[in-house]
Structure 1
Amino acid sequence: MVRSWGVKDEVPKLLVDAHLIYQNTMAVVDVCRKAGLEVFGVTKGVGGLPTVARAMLAGGVVGIADSRLANLERLRSSGIGAPLMLLRSPTMGEISRVAALVDILLCSSLPTINALSKAAIKQRREVQAILMVEMGDRREGIMPDELGDVLGTAEKLPGIRVRGLGTNLACLAGAMPTASGMTYLGDLANELGPGKAAPWTISAGNSSALGLIYEGKWPNLSLPAHLRIGESILLGWDVMTKKPLPGTSQAAFRLFAEVIEAARKPSLPGGPTGCNAFDEEIQPLDRGTHRRAILALGRQDLGSGKVMPIDPGIEVVGMTSDHTVLAIDEAKSAIRPGTQLEFRLDYGGLLAAMTSPYVGKIIKD
């Protein structure tokens, strides 16, 4: 079944193939299970799209995770009953909604946990909290030497059950997961977790941790553990190297955009130059006078994301807010106004396209 929504004329448009996402999920879940890990499927890259969440669940993930509370609410209201994990600490204004909905929360702020405790009591619910540990990426996380004090307070709060420890890497500073780092996180959990009413778990990272598994370097952890995987399932690649993962497809998402101009033009600007509209100083490649095409697609649709033409003879020259300029000298077929061209996206482009009201979406179940 094919469904669509978005702009009336559906150009640009994003094709989402749920079956390929299902296949990618099975491939990733299989290799993680062999390493002793469960997988939570992350849907923030697709705006919490229920079709994608269902494909991930059918492929073997044990729950769905997202950084946006509104996305989790959308998933639950669509009938998804699997455990829901909130990846980002909520704002104080979201606390009551979190207490009513979320099953597992990744959190690094004691005031947030305290507020959640009060809201959970009112909702007559228990929320599981995984305390995030700072391990080098310098984003969220409790410093290891402060972890004992935070835990000592959090585990006494009613309505809260500390479920274990977690970490996040390769997002802000690009700190890479290592076997020694994962072992250290496991040792921390073993040190702090014994004697709890229920076994602890380790939320051991995101898609960036998969490289250790595929390379056979994942350590043997004594506690149950899971990974939070989004990008590698959606795009079928290793997020650190951008190389395809075994058994996955890189065609689950395809962006189509229409050409609005095609002409021969000089490749170098005329006259003095300064910064462009985005305060960038561009050093264009001298191609001489060559064939160029302009797409009705820009940063307002894709943010800072990138598009990669399916036709290897087409090259992206640059992008402004509403236009994308292509070099088309080596294109395999004739390109003229009205031609629709096909592209792959990186993760930033996927995030932006899925949330842009200007990009139509076509869902292939």
Structure 2
Amino acid sequence: MKDVFAPAELGPITLRNKVIKAATFEGRTPDALVTDELIEFHREVAAGGVAMTTVAYCAVAPGGRTDRHQIWMRPEAVAGLRKLTDAVHAEGAAVSAQIGHAGPVANAASNRAPALAPSRMFSPLGMRMMKVPDEAEIRELVAAHANAARLAEQSGFDAVEIHFGHNYLVSSFLSPRLNRRTDRYGASTTGRARLAREIACAVREAVGDRLAVIAKLNMEDGVPGGLTVPESVQVAAWLEADGALDALELTAGSSLLNPMLLFHGDAPRREFAKVLPVPARWGFRVVGRAFLKEYPYREAYLLERARQFRRELSMPLILLGGITNLDTMRLAMTEGFDYVAMGRALLREPNLLRRIQSEESTRSACTHCNECMPTIYTGTRCVFRPDQPHEPLQVSPSDLGARVSE
């Protein structure tokens, strides 16, 4: 069995252990640029002992954001991002930039730019029809991912994580439900996987062997007609054969239709309703149960799906979902996974890993209540941490769900 706390190679970089802070949208960039609050968020997690923290989310284009407050990768963002990476490195950790395009999850009204989808569909976020990119525009999107990776390198990042999950743009192309194209980017699993493969190769060409390149891949969408595990395994096999990626982080769920498949635990419907204006609050009470489904929490809740990828692939894999204690981390290593990723448990206790290293029987204080989810609008945090005060904020109905999962 691999030692969770032994150094590990991830492509061209060496990590001090095998625990990664998963991408969880931070809600700390009101002007779409790095703030001191964002830097402290990641510095604190790095000081807590993780091998690498992930900045989420760095859009490859202004229209690729879930709303206008998110960072998008441009020269003006580099100086702030460099301050962030320097702060993380000073704590002995590596840092990754999650890059991608939100696609159908983008809020066109907020961004003042069209949301993109592989096929014609209505946006419940922007309340308008989405734009379907042609092949020339798809080539521009591929180039935008490569450019974002180059800017990440200039900013001092050690790795980039390409977002292929949660029905963001690439994930929507992978979905049979959302992708009804008949050209080279649709019509079959091969066609629907083409965009993911082209982006991965373009990012690798942009950064060479200087940065690690990871992709966050949906194992399944969890919606009727969506991407299924067998199809996703085939996509993963093609990505492995292309040789552009150093690891896959395995995820699940749809920010548009089924975000709770990623999270499991309590569905915070009442807490989400509280941040909405009154008319939308009433509507959410009607649709909230369908949007935020119930999935009982258990440790390593995505493991059964992930095993199917481990059996078919030889490349490094990152297990996500219900990783909160050393026993579960060791289970992941025993099952053949190379790294584990933690999210909510580190919102509750950024120093959790240090505590586990000091006392192996340590258990996370996270109760999986998921009340952190509605805080994405005011700065993502655990509501049970008294050291993180906040001002209440009402949000528009079009914002709901846009950032629910990164």
Q: TM-score, normalised by structure 2?
A: 0.43
Q: TM-score, normalised by structure 1?
A: 0.47
Query: Greater helix percent: which structure?
Result: 2
Q: Which has the larger radius of gyration?
A: 1
Per chain length, whose mean CA-contact separation is higher, i.e. which structure has more relative contact order (CA < 8 Å, sep 6+)?
A: 1
